[in-house]
Amino acid sequence: MTWLRIFRNEVLFAARLLLGGAFVFAGLRNIQNRNLLIPMMAARGVPRAGHALWLGIVLQVVAGALVIAGLWTALAAASLVLFLIAATPMFHNFWDHQGPDRASRINGFVGNIALAGGFLALIAQAA
């Protein structure tokens, strides 16, 4: 019997805690940054940017908490994948930047792709 079989539930909880926790943290951080994010979203053509931001914050916090708790994990993870599909090109648009800012946005873009992969793994595990 390998250590993974023995600690499977603990490893899965750690994965849910890290993935979901990243989104709870990001959502709470976005509340603090709302005065910067709303104009940025409006400039990118998001209608009713303030409402859209608050909807995104609620989604991040609630779905992230559900992932951590292991409740409706597949649905919560799928909703965060859809969130990433919408948010990643909006906030990590590296193709519009040069120099260090471009590198930073590429890192964010790739990080969000990795998060989506983690959520897809959770969805597959939950099925």
pLDDT tens-digit map of 6-55: 898 899 999 999 999 999 999 999 999 999 999 999 999 999 999 999 99
Query: Which pTM value belongs to this model?
Result: 0.91
- 109-123 confidence digits (pLDDT tens): 999 999 999 999 999
pLDDT at 1: 58
pLDDT digits (tens, 9 = 90+) for 67-102: 999 999 999 999 999 999 999 998 888 888 899 999
3-state helix, strand, coil in the chain (%, to 5): 85, 0, 15
Query: Count of CB atoms within 10 A of residue 104's CB?
Result: 13
Domain boundaries, the chain: 10-126
